[in-house]
Amino acid sequence: MKVYTIPYEMGRISKAEKFKMLRLLVTFDYFGFGRKKDMVDIVSNPPKSVLIDSGVYSLISHEVPLVKIDTDEYVFGYIKTLRTVGEFVNVDGFFEFDWYKGIGVEGVEYYRKILEREVNLKMIPVWNVKLLDSDYLEKLCRSYDYVAIGGMALNRETNVFRNYIHLLRLLYDLKRRYNTKFHLLGMGAIKDLEMIREVAYSCDSSLLKVMAGHKRFSVIIDGRPYSVQANKNLRHTIDWALDQCVAVMQALEREEEGENENGNC
């Protein structure tokens, strides 16, 4: 499984040698909520690869009113960023402008076609567990080999999460039938990795930030526990966190490669 970590203290980690071994999830931020410098750091010293997000979550989390969004301007700004970053960085893919709540399915599909036409990078459609039915997910799986699943992380601590076992079974079935690769948005927390490993080709995580803080974590990799106990009195250095993050990410990818060689996927 590929884990894309969310940038943390980019000004420091982008200068480290192991930065080149990271996979990052970076976000296009139309309103400039603090991530534009991240893009500059990434272009000037590229990591191993990136996934690029459209920034829809920023719209939701900052409760930006619909009347303030010129969607054409937003999407074409996103296109410009994708083209620029794609010239300097290995881009594994980018997520569509999946603002279903704001512009509906027809609006998302309209911009999906524009993004596919205008950007020479892999476009990843997004299915939302709360807003769309399973028939639409299957439709996406028939048309695309890489599909993102959104809306799971937002309900991790609610009763809705209890139903995700059914969703994981659905994803497993679709993966087998269509050979679809799934990216589970926001589901890269340490406690999620074991649950999603059978269905997720990739996920994104705040792994780097977790390891830099006062945290204890343990994850099963290749059948064995990988554990780190953070010092309770000292904040770990970002360099130490970067080393640990790279180690976990590489181990998870090796595990996936081993399963593929054994025909278990």
* Nearest in space to 130 (alpha carbons), one of 108, 103, 157, 149: 149
Cβ atoms of 209 and 230 closer than 8 Å: no
Please name every residue paired with 205 in a beta bridge, in sequence order, or none if there are none. 5
Q: Tell me, what amino acid is at 187?
A: M
User: What are the pLDDT tens digits along the chain (265 aa)?
Assistant: 898 988 777 777 777 778 888 899 988 876 655 556 666 777 778 899 999 999 887 666 666 665 567 889 999 999 999 998 899 999 999 999 999 988 999 999 999 999 999 999 999 999 998 889 999 999 999 999 999 998 887 555 544 445 677 888 999 999 999 999 999 998 877 667 777 888 999 999 877 777 666 555 555 555 555 566 655 544 557 777 788 788 888 888 887 665 555 554 3
Cβ atoms of 8 and 25 closer than 8 Å: no
Domains for the chain: give ranges and CATH numbers: 2-208 (3.20.20.60)
For the entire predicted model, the pTM comes to: 0.85
